[in-house]
Amino acid sequence: MTAKGIRIQGLKKRYGSGDTAVDALKNVNMHVAPGEVVGLIGPSGSGKTTLLKCLGAVIEPTAGKMILGDDVIYDDSWQVTDLRALRRDRIGFVFQAPYLIPFLDVTDNVALLPMLAGVPNAEARKRAMELLKALDVEHRAKAMPSQLSGGEQQRVAIARGLVNRPPVILADEPTAPLDSERALAVIRILNDMAKKFETAIIVVTHDEKIIPTFKRIYHIRDGVTYEEEGEGRGFE
Amino acid sequence: MISLAGRDILHSWGKFVFTGMGLGLLIGVTLSMAGIYRGMVDDAKVLLDSSDADLWVVQKDTLGPYAESSSLYDDVWRRIRDMPEVERAANITYLTMQVGKQGGDVRAMVTGITPGGPGTPGWPPYLVAGRHITRSHYEAVADIASGFKLGDRIKIRRNHYTIVGLTRRMVSSNGDPMVFIPLKDAQEAQFLKDNDAIWEQRRRTAENPAFNRPGVPGLLDAVIASQSTNPYVNAVLVRVKPGYAPEEVAESIRRWKRLTVYTRSQMEEILVGKLIATSARQIFMFLVILSIVSSAIVAFIIYTLTLGKIREIAVLKLLGTKNRTIVGWIMQQSIALGLIGFVVGKISATLLMAPIFPKYVLLQPLDSVMGFIAVVMICVLSSIIAIRAALRVDPAEAIGG
């Protein structure tokens, strides 16, 4: 799979119509290169979640363009027919809470996505184990989610987001429930994984602890994005 | 692909097993109800089988002797026996009553059988203990379900009888155990009144000028004598000689003897189609109600279980899981719940409920297969509400906002 990150040009999203119409996204422009981790920061109601839903192919934007890798996936309308397959195979998700499936062990939580894509079970589990090893939770491979610490659960969730080698990962407040040390550890892991798998990662956050770690930050205000250089502290 | 339903069930097996057990007891009651209906039909057929007759000759234009009362003179059988197509003919009486025994009484169908020994129509075809009736009076053979034992003394009306033999599965269409006694005793039991009633009847007859004419000596005694005997039986059981069609013989008796005659199939239709029809309808209604209750319970349980997994479903949908995977997950859980319920229900119906029911419960394999299919169908249908709820889950819920 060619990995050229994700580019968003002039993305708009309007809810409703007529007098009650609300423009949640007015002009969003972003580019995240493969191997790069950028922060998306904005106050409540600025359009962060709407943007995440548009990028995650959960809701349809009103206008604009989204290019994933070499493929235009949205150009004033969806350019792909199977949005489920798009989400499953080409977009990774990491949530604020890990949201692991409670009745699957760690390996199968990670291996489930490739299995859903039709990858044989053995191959899917092999991929899962490689990622769990890379994320240093290999030793908990047979544990159930309820037996893991918060940090371990988040690492397993990151492994799940990476397992289908998506060109982009959308991380929604991935460090919110963690203390400083663990939050920075998660960001470090995301940076490592982005480089290792040539994945573009967008981290939506308002966590002051991790904002200084981004080299590039997109601010979103009233549905409009503004690019800013970050400090990149700790990842020079 | 791993089985989401299987893993979910294994993870929370206690919830499934206990819910399945509760459902199973309900299914057990449903199967028992079906078994009771089958038992009633079987009891009716047993009654006909035990009569060992091809034809039932009864009072004209009645559905006797089981569904309606029927009275025939007790010498009618001779004319029927003399027909060339008839192998054997025997009088029979039936009277459902309380049979007394020291310490209580038992509801039973007292059957009067003609002398003649085993093989005579109406006689119990086999015994499980003791011997057949050999004396003309005061001996009885009882079904083992009556609770009587060999040598027991039972009271029918004013007379006492000794149990000399026991038989099995000889019951009326209502499931009452049969007690066989000699025909003459049975006729007397049907007719016999208490002393006060007899005195009253004699006084009234004596005061009636039509029966007590001064110029006709002996008339009153003759009338009283006729009132003191019972020349009636309920039916004549007829066995047709081999090679003759029962229907043709029946038609001949209807035409020449001016009586109503039923063949085995007609009698079966009367018993099953008329005598136990109301009970069958009641049981059918119970089955319908229990099926609806079972469906509602399964639907509620599966719906509740599904609502408890909304977040997981949203995550799975966001991660690209196909709808059919989620539908399969919920439906498989529903069917698994039904399977647990059916196994528990079948076991409880067979081992726990059937033995303690006072009526005969006949659990037929075909009914179990039908029940199994019904349970699976109910579970599939019941899961629809939960599936609709799951399919309505917005994957965006996983992202929040």
- Per-residue pLDDT of A15-34, as tens digits, reads 998 888 999 999 999 999 99
pLDDT tier at A183 (50, 70, 90 boundaries)? confident
Q: Are residues B114 and B245 in the same domain?
A: yes
CA atoms in the 13 A half-sphere facing the CB of B112: 26
Residue B224 lies in a domain: no
- Tell whether A27 lies on the interface with B, counting CB pairs under 8 A: no
Is residue B28 domain-shared with residue B124, that is, in the same domain? no
Q: Are A129 and A142 in contact (CB under 8 A)?
A: no
From A87, which residue of chain B is nearest by alpha-carbon distance? B320
Same domain, B171 and B122: yes
Euclidean distance between the first and the last CA atom of chain A, given in angstroms as a whole number: 28
Within 10 angstroms of residue B179's Cβ, the number of other Cβ atoms is 26
The verdict on residue B217 lying in a domain is no
Q: What is the mean pLDDT of chain B?
A: 89
Q: Do residues B156 and B302 both lie within one domain?
A: no
- Of all residues in chain B, the one with the smallest CA distance to A160 is B319
Interchain pair B1, A115: CB under 8 A: yes
pLDDT at position A177 over 80: no
Kindly state whether residues B32 and B152 are assigned to the same domain: no
Task: Mutation target for B interface from A54, A58, A100: give the one with most B CBs within 10 A.
Answer: A58
Q: What's the domain range around B370?
A: 4-44+278-398
Residue-level pLDDT at A2: 43
B339 and B315 together in one domain:
yes
Nearest to B320 among A85, A95, A102 (CB): A85
Q: Are residues B16 and B165 in the same domain?
A: no
Structure tokens at B26: 């309900």
- pLDDT of A1 reads 42
Measured between beta carbons, the chain B residues lying within 8 angstroms of A59 are 396
Tell me the per-residue pLDDT of B177-205, one tens digit each, with 9 for 90 and over.
Answer: 999 999 999 998 887 777 788 888 889 98
Tell me which residue in B7, B11, B396 faces A53 most closely, judged by beta carbons.
B396
Locate the domains of chain A by residue range: 35-57+86-229
- Please tell me the CATH superfamily of domain A35-57+86-229, with its number: P-loop containing nucleotide triphosphate hydrolases (3.40.50.300)
Q: Which of A59, A88, A115 sits opposite B396 (nearest CB)?
A: A59
Within-domain flag for B199 = no
> Residue B244: inside a domain, yes or no?
yes
DSSP string, B346-389: HHIIIIIIHHH-SS-----HHHHHHHHHHHHHHHHHHHHHHHHH
Do B23 and B159 share a domain, yes or no? no
- Residue-wise pLDDT for B236-264, tens only, equals 999 999 999 999 999 999 988 789 999 99
Tokens linked to B265: 């199939």
Search chain B and give the residue with CA nearest A171: B399
Interface test with B, best of A82, A95, A101 (most B CBs within 10 A): A101
Q: A58, B322: Cβ pair inside 8 Å? A: no
Are B319 and A104 an interchain contact pair (Cβ–Cβ within 8 Å)?
no
Structural domains counted in chain B: 2
pLDDT in tens, B340-361: 999 999 999 999 888 888 788 8
Hey, is the C-beta of B330 within 8 angstroms of any chain A C-beta? no
A88 CB within 8 Å of a chain B CB: yes
User: Do B39 and B157 reside in the same domain of the chain?
Assistant: no
Cα distance between residue B312 and residue B309, in whole Å: 5
